[in-house]
Structure 1
Amino acid sequence: MEKLKQRIMEQSSILSNDVLRMDAIINHQVDPGLTMEMGHEFANRFAEHGITKVITIESSGIPAAFATAYVLGVPLVFARRKKTLIADPDVYIERVPSFTKGMVTDIMVSKEFLSSDDKLLFIDDIIANGDAARGLIKIIEKSGAKLAGMGIVVEKSFQAGGRTLREQGIQVESLVKIASLDNGSIQFE
């Protein structure tokens, strides 16, 4: 998506050779028009997969996942990172490290919202090492649901996440791939 690349160049900042801050685009502020374009693109790439639900992890993945679910006409389920007082006690849970947050958290999905009849499309904002993605994939496997594939807004292809998931046979579709952040410069694939 050329428009997304342009916005990354204009509105993101490089914090290190591994970290790109995209708060003005997808992580803190959201452009609804651009987000809906992302949803249409993901829906087009997975149109023939018989998706029954879109799934993501809170919170930055929710806008793109919502747009995709809306276009596909299916529900959106998101893994929570924090248990609330009214949360369902019967959940699938996995402990996952977060590259950008620098900590380990639990992600959980109520068993009520996943079944063996579901064919899921996993949408996320960024993939770096893929730890959170692998955690959600474990939850999907526990539920008996099928993973149709993954849509990633920005893949940092210089990190192993997307590559290792593809090596496992998972269809990973990224809207933008960043090959390097070295020397304070964004290099796209």
Structure 2
Amino acid sequence: MKRSERLIAITNYLIEHPQQLVSLPFFTESYQSAKSSISEDLGIINDMFQKEGIGRLQTVPGAAGGVKYIPSNSAERSEAFADELANQLEDPERLLPGGYLFMSDLLGDPQTVRNIGRLFATHFANHSIDVIMTVATKGIPLAYAVAFFLNVPVVIVRRDPKVTEGSTVSINYVSGSSRKIQTMVLPKRSLKQGANVCIIDDFMKAGGTINGMRSLLDEFEANVAGIGVLAEAEDEEEDRVVEEYVSLLQINNVDIKNKKIEVHRGNMFSE
């Protein structure tokens, strides 16, 4: 196999298996090449990943070591993507009653969701996350996108139990915006005791839903390793019940009467 062909094959494998430790013998056997050649290839790939701002290769020494692709986004790429999303969300046609915005088209676009997942994965890369948690339904595509780049599973909190999920744990919580008592459930087999969980959601106003998920994690004796939301709404009338979180976008000055919206980068970019 020519080096150019081998570089493409190795790069594709690493991108398709982020955060997964791959031994050098795997590559030498797969592509019938010497370790020295594979090492040179990995050096070239690592240089290009960093030059393009899409990640780096982490080398783990020792007999059980190898190389691992750590996906990331450069600050420039992240800011440009956030600004592009903000421009799209400032379209007044997206305004919904209650100050919400229509975002289903963005959450249904695979490339957009993939880019959002990479941004959150970049932020939470060093948080030792075991599981991504979200609540059905709009947060599901975001959760899977983040989980792919972190190479961890996803658990989905639902409003009602499913027969196919076996026994469940349920809690009641107060919705932050409507102040209503609601229920959320999670199968007992979903989480292990002591798991580090990252909560991902599409939209946050007062944070009642996310606070409910935190309470649910307490029932499993699991830890909240991070909280990420695609968009947060700034509302002075609402008492925010969640403090430690990162947002990709912040929605300000929603004027339903005059159909005006201001969307800016979230607190992810102010840290």
TM range (shorter): 0.7 to 0.9
The aligned residue for residue 204 of structure 2 is 127
Are 2:102 and 1:21 aligned?
yes
| Residues 84-105 of structure 1: CA deviation (Å, up to 9, x unaligned) | 23232232433453848x9754
Specify the SS of the correspondent of 1:154.
strand
The aligned residue for residue 175 of structure 1 is 248
Alignment-mate amino acid for residue 211 of structure 2: R
| Residues 14-36 of structure 1: CA deviation (Å, up to 9, x unaligned) | 1246222223223xxx1100100
Specify the SS of the correspondent of 1:181.
strand
Structure-1 separation of matches of 2:165 and 2:174: 19
Structure-2 separation of matches of 1:92 and 1:17: 28
Aligned partner of 1:164 among 228, 238, 241: 241
Instruction: Report which structure shows greater RCO (CA 8 Å, sep ≥6).
Output: 1
Specify the SS of the correspondent of 1:48.
coil
Aligned partner of 2:259 among 166, 184, 187: 184
The aligned residue for residue 219 of structure 2 is 142
Structure-2 separation of matches of 1:87 and 1:153: 28
Structure-1 separation of matches of 2:148 and 2:232: 23
Identity %: 27
Alignment-mate amino acid for residue 131 of structure 1: G
Are 2:89 and 1:8 aligned?
yes
Contact 1:98 1:105 in 2 (8 A): no
Distance 1:24 1:90, change over 3 A: closer
The aligned residue for residue 187 of structure 2 is 110
Structure-2 separation of matches of 1:74 and 1:17: 35
Contact 1:181 1:187 in 2 (8 A): yes
More divergent stretch after superposition (145-154 vs 7-16): 7-16
| Residues 51-109 of structure 1: CA deviation (Å, up to 9, x unaligned) | 00000000000011110001100000010122223232232433453848x97542111
Distance 1:152 1:128, change over 3 A: same
Structure-1 separation of matches of 2:92 and 2:212: 30
TM-score of the aligned structures, taking structure 1 as reference length: 0.84
Structure-1 separation of matches of 2:163 and 2:150: 32
Structure-2 separation of matches of 1:33 and 1:103: 35
Q: What is the aligned residue count?
A: 180
The aligned residue for residue 5 of structure 2 is none
Are 2:161 and 1:90 aligned?
no
Which structure's residues are more often strand, by fraction? 1
Distance 1:104 1:24, change over 3 A: farther
Q: Which runs of 5+ in 1 are unaligned?
A: none
Aligned partner of 2:151 among 43, 48, 73: 73
| Residues 85-144 of structure 1: CA deviation (Å, up to 9, x unaligned) | 3232232433453848x9754211112112233111100000012111111110012211
Structure-2 separation of matches of 1:12 and 1:73: 37
TM-score of the aligned structures, taking structure 2 as reference length: 0.60
Structure-2 separation of matches of 1:67 and 1:12: 27
Structure-2 separation of matches of 1:153 and 1:76: 17
C-alpha RMSD over aligned residues: 2.3
Distance 1:11 1:72, change over 3 A: farther
